Structure 1
Amino acid sequence: MRSTTSVRALVIGTAAVAALGGLAGVSSATPGTGVSAKLLFQKTVGDKDYVVREITIQPGGETGWHFHDGRVYGVVRSGTLTHYDDTCSVDGVYRPGESISEPNGSDYVHIGRNHGTTPMVLEVLYVNPAGAPLSRDADAPACER
């Protein structure tokens, strides 16, 4: 789901706060194949965790089927992200400078893939319930089995 440029401003603004406030420890997300993540910022405010990560998916790589307990906002920095919903249909193709927003909940199982020939780099802001994992693994939908 494409979002407005305010998502980009939110991600960039949160990264700026990270530069001013220091960096936190390692994240506990489970990567798919060819995926790496670098934690840029993490802070808990009230009952919410705010986490900024740079996610890289190598050519042919994928995130694995998953969902999030909180909202996710991202901006593609390089490469192309192809995003699939639980019907195995492409629900978005995102190129450099484009933003993505993902709703929360187990009813929004999805996967991100890099079908390109260069690494795809995505800067992501997670707005999660405090203490919740950044993502939860999900079984592949019937259309992929």
Structure 2
Amino acid sequence: MRTALCTALTGVLTAAAILTCGSAGATPAGPGVTARILARTTVDGTDYTLREITIPPGQGTGWHYHDGPLYGVVKQGTLSHFDADCGSDGVYRTGATIKEPSGPDHVHIGRNLGDTPLVLEVLYVLPHGAPFAEDAPNPGCAFG
């Protein structure tokens, strides 16, 4: 398992370098959004967790931010990513990588606007014990 995690970490971090959820008002993930842990370890107070996330057509993650950076790969489908200004900050197709910065000043939502399930593999690099995401209210966008 340690070798698989190291391989996954190396691959995701290399790709990212090359291409360089329950409070009031929060927007929960849409129905049918699922996640499963593929690998997990803690090193020097940092949790490294690799998850597979599946978002059905027409659904999204809900508005949120993270307490540490995330590195992802689109395994299937297309991820439409929006920032707190309600503008698209990226459309990521199968094979694309994405990096999400940390902190409450980086509120965002991921949506599947396609007609096939969106599958992501995401590496979370978080302070030990931090949640995968911190819910945030919709910043006033007409969607999400």
TM-score normalised per structure 2: 0.80
Task: Assess, with a 3 A threshold, how the Cα gap between structure 1 residues 127 and 141 changes in structure 2: closer, same or farther.
Answer: same
Moved over 2 A (4+): 142-145
Task: Assess, with a 3 A threshold, how the Cα gap between structure 1 residues 8 and 63 changes in structure 2: closer, same or farther.
Answer: farther
Determine if contact 2:69/2:125 at 8 Å carries over to the other structure.
Answer: yes
The one of 127, 140, 143 equivalent to 2:141 is 143
What residue is the counterpart of 1:93 in the other structure?
Answer: 91
Determine if contact 2:41/2:47 at 8 Å carries over to the other structure.
Answer: yes
Number of residue pairs the alignment of both structures matches: 124
Structure 1, unmatched stretches of 5+, are 1-6, 13-28
Task: Assess, with a 3 A threshold, how the Cα gap between structure 1 residues 36 and 11 changes in structure 2: closer, same or farther.
Answer: farther
After TM superposition, list the pairs within 5 Å mapping 1:1-145 onto structure 2. Answer: 9-10=11-12, 32-33=29-30, 34-144=32-142
Percent identity of equivalent pairs: 55
For residues 65-107 of structure 1, what are the alpha-carbon distances to aligned partners after superposition, in whole Å with 9 as ceiling and x for unaligned? Answer: 0000001000000000000000110000000100000000000
Structure 2, unmatched stretches of 5+, are 1-8, 15-20, 23-27
For residues 108-137 of structure 1, what are the alpha-carbon distances to aligned partners after superposition, in whole Å with 9 as ceiling and x for unaligned? Answer: 000000000000000000000011111000
CA RMSD after TM alignment: 2.2
Task: Assess, with a 3 A threshold, how the Cα gap between structure 1 residues 41 and 94 changes in structure 2: closer, same or farther.
Answer: same
Determine if contact 1:11/1:52 at 8 Å carries over to the other structure.
Answer: no
TM-score normalised per structure 1: 0.79
| Displacement of 1:8 | 7.2
